[in-house]
Structure 1
Amino acid sequence: MEGRKIIQVEDKVPAKLLIPLSIQHMFAMFGASVLVPFIFGINPAVVLFMNGVGTLLFILITKAKAPAYLGSSFAFLAPAGIVIAKWGYEYALGGFVAVGFCGCILALIIYKFGSDWIDIVLPPAAMGPVVALIGLELAGSAAGNAGLLDEQIDSRKVIVFLVTAGVAVFGSILFRKFLSVIPILIAVISGYVAALLCGIVDFSEVAAAPVFALPNFSAPKFKLEAIVIILPVILVIASEHIGHQIVTGKIIGRDLIKDPGLHRSLFADNFSTMISGFIGSVPTTTYGENIGVMAVTGVYSVRVIGGAAILSIIVSFIGKLSTLISTIPGPVIGGISFLLYGMIGTSGIRILVDEKVDYGRSRNLMLTSVIFVTGLSGAAIKIGNIELTGMVLACIVGMILSLSFYILDKFHLTNDV
């Protein structure tokens, strides 16, 4: 970020900057966040509403020290899909409430006993590749959105993808002054214009949507079997949350695990998920897309994140506007994601460089090697209806290895003590 002015977490942002920067963050999360309610078969308006409310709650609980945007969590898709098929969406909501409540209890346990254990179970040689995997395992998703994995490649989609990705990449290098902090927004607009010219945007749903509409709130129902199916997801979301907080801390140059504290951010994340279940929305999580935006732009202000949250709430009440934004084509989302997911992967490598990880030590070489292969191999372990794979499985394997090495050190059995 040398040569570019950094807008730090607590910095005030003038209105002429705040609005476009907030819109940029909202666009970054929109595509992925509305995909989850589409899969569940519910109207995305209530999800946009809760994303905004959850983000504002997160900022409040973390004392405005941890910039993070809360979007729809993909971790619940498989178990919630089972529950919805068996008993209906309202029982999935009950499971969301239960997971959020247990996550809040976990946060209180961390508050009581501290977070120093993270340095033991996830040393830099393990944390670096785990963080990198957050971005790298999403690379296929970016390519899929762009249409690059289709059996029959559509040249129009490729053109839109190249325009979007090209503006994002070269804009980040070439834009100056005000434009240098909104390259993602400019790339989205450029990609959308290219999609219009290529004729791959459909406005029929926008025409049919109402101008104003209340989000579709609904109440949960509770069933022990449904809760048991969904509850193991807490392993996934806890690992994901820790990874996101560490990578965000590296980007902004602060230790968010210590201040405002893992207990605060984890509580805020899970409290938002619990509230989501009570009002009919989907679980929330800190979003990698928005972490990527901060890495690209050097803008870390919570006021910008809060502005994006307020915009999301407003959009949730404007039927035509939320539907219009949802018409952003996959190649545009894919073009942006190529850059944002790559930035997260690079942040993981940065941890290894900044911490000067010595690969002359066998333990560091083993940790990084095993974690990368586990995360990228496609290996999976099923526990009931929960499948552990990718970054989450790699994180668990890394934690087990690191803890094993720590215990062996205590008995002076390792060869590099």
Structure 2
Amino acid sequence: MSDLEVSSNTVIKVDVQEKVPLLKAIPLSLQHLFAMFGASVLVPILFKIDPTTVLFFNGIGTLFYAFITKGKIPAYLGSSFAYLAPSFLLMSQGYDFQTIQSGFFVSGLAFALVATIIYFTGTKWINKLFPPAAMGAIVTIIGLELAPTAADMAGFAVGGSNNPEVTNMTWVIISMVTLVTVILCNVLLRGFLKIIPILIGVVVGYITAYFMGEVNFEAVQKANLFVVPAIKLAKFDTTVIMSILPATFVVIAEHIGHLKVTSSIVGRDLAQDPGLHRSLLGDGLSTAFSGLFGSVPTTTYGENIGVMALTKVYSVYVICGAGILSILLGFSGTLSALIINIPTPVVGGISLLLFGTIATSGLRTFIEDQVDFSKSRNLILTSIIFIIGLSGITVAIGPVSLSGMGLATMVAIILSLLFMLFDKLGIMNEPQ
């Protein structure tokens, strides 16, 4: 009997390479698409480029990533936020998006170069740079630093861009109805319905938003049924490339953190099999391809990791299904407009739970790797990373600003290197 056919109180789990029947794979793929949609589409909107083109390349990148990683890592590649700051600075200086694409392309190649280095040198040095005491904290920060974003989208007044001044009670009601629906589906439903709580939550939230006057179908009615993704070749510029390149290392750190979370969720070390080098290579080549032909850089998505943690459906076939749907949306103006039309508070209600599951996955690292906080190095690493990552401190390095998880990762690397040096010199006052 397939895991999807279990209807008792047994915990439903669909493993990474387990195939799922088509009629059940479609709704499972749809909820992954809904989970990443708000954030992934926001990036092209900020860049003032066509979201359907970005959706098309996100889908292509997801399928390519699955191929490079031999179908062993369930990961959706969505639009990356890490490149916004240097890109906006360049745009303020008069550079157009096609020229900025050259920076994305070279950044993807830099990803591939790091992947090649790891292939020849192995991952032991990565484990030393990011011991469990550091990685657990970094992964937790990935979820916690997104908390204000989720609260903002849910309608609460937390100083965000959607509703910066006062609590929007209409949005709060919609987001809470969505969140409660997902929670109740998760703890009360059984069988197949138990593993599509997010999809059910989106539908219920969408209907609630419609009756509360927060849905306008005018854009859907005006959209063309069929569109062609806008392909625009990058224009190369050295200044642009050098300005955007440093952001690569922030995304690499984020990627490693996401892979660690995914490994914890699926119960196997994906950095060893199929290998961190394959994961970085897949993401890097996807970013290079997207940048070369008119889209934005790609990255693994915490929202989709949250979906897997919540539903215990890890099938790469489901993720690839989301990638295929994303490609189809790239050709359908009507369908794209319909999904882009999902009200912000609906996404906010779901995100309140998804981002929390990412943070919890980081805390699991401390337990599963038996991190000993009686050792000073572990206590210091975790404490400093938490405070730096959640303090709001921003450090500017040229056109690149580091904050949150990115800055915490850089601090973790520096501290780990310092402790390694002290170990080599034999001056540490406690064993490793």
Residues 249-282 of structure 1 show CA distances to partners (whole Å, capped at 9, x for unaligned) of 0000010111111110001001000000111011
Amino acid paired to 2:123: S
SS of the residue corresponding to residue 87 of structure 1 reads coil
Q: Which residue of 2 aligns with 1:110?
A: 118
Whether 1:251 aligns to 2:265 is: yes
Q: Which residue of 2 aligns with 1:36?
A: 43
* Separation of aligned partners in 2, 1:108 and 1:120: 19
Amino acid paired to 2:64: L
* Separation of aligned partners in 1, 2:250 and 2:360: 22
* Contact 1:19–1:307 (CA under 8 A) maintained in structure 2: yes
SS of the residue corresponding to residue 128 of structure 2 reads helix
Amino acid paired to 2:97: Y
SS of the residue corresponding to residue 296 of structure 2 reads coil
* Separation of aligned partners in 1, 2:140 and 2:406: 12
Whether 1:132 aligns to 2:140 is: yes
Q: Which residue of 1 aligns with 2:5?
A: none
* Separation of aligned partners in 1, 2:169 and 2:187: 27
* Separation of aligned partners in 2, 1:23 and 1:159: 24
Q: Which residue of 2 aligns with 1:74?
A: 81
Whether 1:15 aligns to 2:29 is: no
SS of the residue corresponding to residue 82 of structure 1 reads helix
Q: Which residue of 1 aligns with 2:335?
A: 321
Instruction: After TM superposition, give the deviation of residue 83 of structure 1 in Å.
Output: 2.2
Residues 353-403 of structure 1 show CA distances to partners (whole Å, capped at 9, x for unaligned) of 111111111111111100000000011111101001100111111121122
Amino acid paired to 2:90: V
* Contact 1:72–1:283 (CA under 8 A) maintained in structure 2: yes
Instruction: After TM superposition, give the deviation of residue 4 of structure 1 in Å.
Output: 1.1
* Separation of aligned partners in 2, 1:347 and 1:171: 21
Whether 1:178 aligns to 2:192 is: yes
Whether 1:121 aligns to 2:94 is: no
* Separation of aligned partners in 2, 1:381 and 1:84: 21
Unpaired runs of at least 5, structure 1:
none
Q: Which residue of 2 aligns with 1:161?
A: 175
Q: Alignment partner for residue 205 of structure 2, among 191, 195, 201?
A: 191
* Separation of aligned partners in 2, 1:111 and 1:229: 27
Q: Alignment partner for residue 335 of structure 1, among 343, 349, 372?
A: 349
* Separation of aligned partners in 2, 1:362 and 1:125: 11
* Separation of aligned partners in 2, 1:205 and 1:82: 31
* Contact 1:135–1:345 (CA under 8 A) maintained in structure 2: yes
Q: Which residue of 2 aligns with 1:91?
A: 99
Residues 326-372 of structure 1 show CA distances to partners (whole Å, capped at 9, x for unaligned) of 01111111111111110000000000011111111111111110000
* Separation of aligned partners in 2, 1:408 and 1:119: 17
* Separation of aligned partners in 1, 2:396 and 2:126: 25
* Separation of aligned partners in 1, 2:214 and 2:272: 47
SS of the residue corresponding to residue 148 of structure 1 reads coil
Q: Which residue of 2 aligns with 1:299?
A: 313
Amino acid paired to 2:387: V
Query: Normalising to structure 2: TM-score of the pair?
Result: 0.95
Whether 1:223 aligns to 2:237 is: yes
Q: Which residue of 1 aligns with 2:6?
A: none
Whether 1:61 aligns to 2:68 is: yes
* Separation of aligned partners in 1, 2:412 and 2:166: 39
* Separation of aligned partners in 1, 2:297 and 2:423: 40
Residues 184-208 of structure 1 show CA distances to partners (whole Å, capped at 9, x for unaligned) of 1111111111100111111111111
Q: Which residue of 1 aligns with 2:249?
A: 235
Structure 1 stretch 83-92 or stretch 280-289: which is displaced more? 83-92
Whether 1:4 aligns to 2:11 is: yes
Whether 1:47 aligns to 2:54 is: yes
Instruction: After TM superposition, give the deviation of residue 38 of structure 1 in Å.
Output: 0.2
* Contact 1:145–1:333 (CA under 8 A) maintained in structure 2: yes
Whether 1:275 aligns to 2:282 is: no
User: What are the within-5 Å matches in structure 2 for residues 343-362 of structure 1?
Assistant: 343-362=357-376
SS of the residue corresponding to residue 35 of structure 1 reads helix
Q: Which runs of 4+ in 1 moved over 6 A?
A: none
* Contact 1:83–1:91 (CA under 8 A) maintained in structure 2: no
* Separation of aligned partners in 2, 1:84 and 1:302: 37
* Separation of aligned partners in 2, 1:107 and 1:244: 16
* Separation of aligned partners in 1, 2:155 and 2:229: 31
The RMSD of aligned alpha carbons is 1.0
Q: Alignment partner for residue 302 of structure 2, among 272, 279, 288?
A: 288
Query: Normalising to structure 1: TM-score of the pair?
Result: 0.98
Instruction: After TM superposition, give the deviation of residue 412 of structure 1 in Å.
Output: 2.4
* Contact 2:79–2:297 (CA under 8 A) maintained in structure 1: yes
Instruction: After TM superposition, give the deviation of residue 155 of structure 1 in Å.
Output: 1.6
- How many residues matched? 416
* Separation of aligned partners in 1, 2:419 and 2:104: 36
Q: Which residue of 2 aligns with 1:26?
A: 33
Instruction: After TM superposition, give the deviation of residue 170 of structure 1 in Å.
Output: 2.2
* Contact 2:72–2:316 (CA under 8 A) maintained in structure 1: yes
Instruction: After TM superposition, give the deviation of residue 317 of structure 1 in Å.
Output: 0.6
SS of the residue corresponding to residue 401 of structure 2 reads strand
